[in-house]
Chain A
Amino acid sequence: MEACLTRRRAGASLLQALLLLAQSLFAAAPQKDAGADMTAAREARDREAEQILDAYGNRILRLAYSYLHNMSDAEEVLQDTLMQFLKAAPVFQTEEHRKAWLLHVAGNLSKNRIDYNRVRDADELSEELTAENREDLRFVWEAVKALPVKYREVVHLFYYEGYSTAEVASVLHENEATVRSRLDRGREKLKQILKEAYDFG
């Protein structure tokens, strides 16, 4: 009788142990945590991407367009810049540093496209200015477009982004003296193209 009870008790405790073990293994709490981590990380990444697009999307797009003269290419550069940012997960002390990093990457990606001749032909901006009979603006745009890339990027960052020559040098990872020289040469070339219409004040 006692032996039978012991056997039954042993059987019950074995079943209980098995159930507990199976429960703990199937509970998959760590998996849930890992899943929650992944979801949280994905949401954080999405939020960051949206934040960058809201804060700097237009600036990156415009800089890319100034290099490539095409909206589809500029959009792809914006997308690639965002991907690079999320991949590199860089750390910045200030928002200005973040902006400079994004413009630097967007500039490099744009120049790569020019180097590999992957730029499309259509210049929507030029077409739009022509359609609206804004010859004054189209004249300026064509003149800036005609500048070599190294002058054009300096002109864009200096005049449009409002950067100082030191800041342009920082964005482009160039020497400030080189930037000043390129800015001077860019202005000279614009003078030659625009003649009396030149007034890059």
Chain B
Amino acid sequence: MTLAEKYAQIMDRIELTEAMRRRVLENVRGAAAEKKPIRFPNRRHWLAVAACLALLLLGALTLPKIAWGGSQEPSAETASGISECASAEELSRAVGFPVSDVTALPFAVTQTSYLNYWDQLAEIQYRGADGQSAFYRKSAGTEDNSGDYNEYPSARELTAGSVTAELRGSGERYTLACWTDGTYAYSLSLPQGADAAAWTEILAGVK
């Protein structure tokens, strides 16, 4: 028996037991449940109570004048530690730094989601009608915040406007751009890919 086989025999003795598995999962769930940065569960309820009382007091003459602004819709917490905001402005307030929409995407955006991860990372998700999507992230610091750990055969630097980004992809099509301005880290992922010319336009439109 070779040493490699003996070492494998030794290592195979270390096993994730059912008790250990249960413990790990419970702790992971518990830790996730503790990290709920933004809570809005009762805001709507109290808004409703206050509104009805006000209505009763104001009476019939004032009733038609009362308007309920859609912009007051509270943010929805989509997962523990992650909350969804209504706009880039609300997302900026939640994470504590300015976040702006990407304006020059290579597809018509039909749906936009603003996500606050742990009050540390802002992500804007854009989706188009034909399955196109884009994910824009911004966080404090200069470390790569893309969450994309794939290895790409192609990489190049590209300067567009005030942004100098590293593009990663395959061949002439790049699916990820990462850059920093020294204070914040940015990344933009385009799963469908785009060539350097298209990226130049996209990045020039990033504030």
Residues of A within 8 A of B (CB): 10-11, 14, 17-18, 21-22, 25-26, 28, 30-31, 33-34, 37-38, 41-42, 44-46, 49-50, 53, 57-58, 61-62, 65-66, 71, 74-75, 78-79, 82-83, 86-93, 97, 100-101, 104, 125, 128-129, 136-137, 140-141, 144, 155-156, 159-160, 170, 190, 194, 197-201
Q: Is the CB of B63 within 8 A of A160?
A: no
With beta carbons under 8 angstroms apart, the residue of A44, A66, A75, A91 that contacts B24 is: A75
Instruction: Judge if B154 is at the interface, Cβ distance under 8 Å.
Output: no
Chain B residue nearest to A160 in the complex (CB):
B11
Residue numbers in A under 8 Å from B111 (CB-CB): none
Residue numbers in B under 8 Å from A156 (CB-CB): 11
Q: Is the CB of A79 within 8 A of B28?
A: yes
6 shortest interchain CB distances as A-B pairs:
A41-B79, A25-B48, A201-B2, A34-B76, A57-B16, A200-B3
A79 touching B148 in the complex, CB below 8 Å, given contacts A62-B14, A125-B14: no
A190 touching B3 in the complex, CB below 8 Å, given contacts A25-B48, A31-B44, A101-B149: yes
With beta carbons under 8 angstroms apart, the residue of A38, A79, A194, A201 that contacts B4 is: A201
Instruction: Judge if B108 is at the interface, Cβ distance under 8 Å.
Output: no
Min CB gap B93→A, angstroms: 19
Mostly, the A contact residues are helix
Residue numbers in A under 8 Å from B59 (CB-CB): 14
Interface centre among B11, B47, B55 (most CB of A within 10 A): B11
9 contacts between A and B (CB under 8 A): A10-B60, A31-B44, A37-B76, A58-B14, A58-B16, A79-B23, A89-B147, A140-B7, A155-B7
Residue numbers in A under 8 Å from B41 (CB-CB): 31
Q: Is the CB of A41 within 8 A of B78?
A: yes
Q: Is the CB of B13 within 8 A of A49?
A: no
A170 touching B151 in the complex, CB below 8 Å, given contacts A49-B25, A61-B16: yes
Chain A residue nearest to B147 in the complex (CB):
A90
Q: Is the CB of A159 within 8 A of B77?
A: no
Kindly supply a per-residue 1/0 record for chain B positions 83-118, scoring 1 wherever the CB is within 8 Å of any chain A CB and 0 otherwise. 000000000000000000000000000000000011
Min CB gap B185→A, angstroms: 14
Instruction: Judge if B197 is at the interface, Cβ distance under 8 Å.
Output: no
Bound form: Cα–Cα A97–B149 in Å:
7
Q: Is the CB of B10 within 8 A of A92?
A: no
Bound form: Cα–Cα A197–B117 in Å:
53
Instruction: Judge if B156 is at the interface, Cβ distance under 8 Å.
Output: no
With beta carbons under 8 angstroms apart, the residue of A10, A100, A101, A201 that contacts B3 is: A201
A91 touching B150 in the complex, CB below 8 Å, given contacts A30-B73, A78-B24: yes
Residue numbers in B under 8 Å from A58 (CB-CB): 14-16
- Beyond known contacts A14-B60, A37-B76: 11 more, CB 8 A cutoff: A28-B44, A28-B48, A38-B76, A41-B80, A46-B29, A66-B11, A79-B23, A79-B27, A125-B14, A136-B6, A137-B10
Contact residues of B between 20 and 71, Cβ < 8 Å to A: 20-21, 23-25, 27-29, 31-32, 41, 44-45, 47-48, 51-52, 55-56, 59-60, 63
Min CB gap B24→A, angstroms: 5
Chain B residue nearest to A14 in the complex (CB):
B60
Instruction: Judge if B81 is at the interface, Cβ distance under 8 Å.
Output: yes
Bound form: Cα–Cα A17–B76 in Å:
28
With beta carbons under 8 angstroms apart, the residue of B10, B15, B28 that contacts A140 is: B10
Min CB gap B85→A, angstroms: 13
With beta carbons under 8 angstroms apart, the residue of A17, A66, A144 that contacts B63 is: A17
Instruction: Judge if B8 is at the interface, Cβ distance under 8 Å.
Output: yes
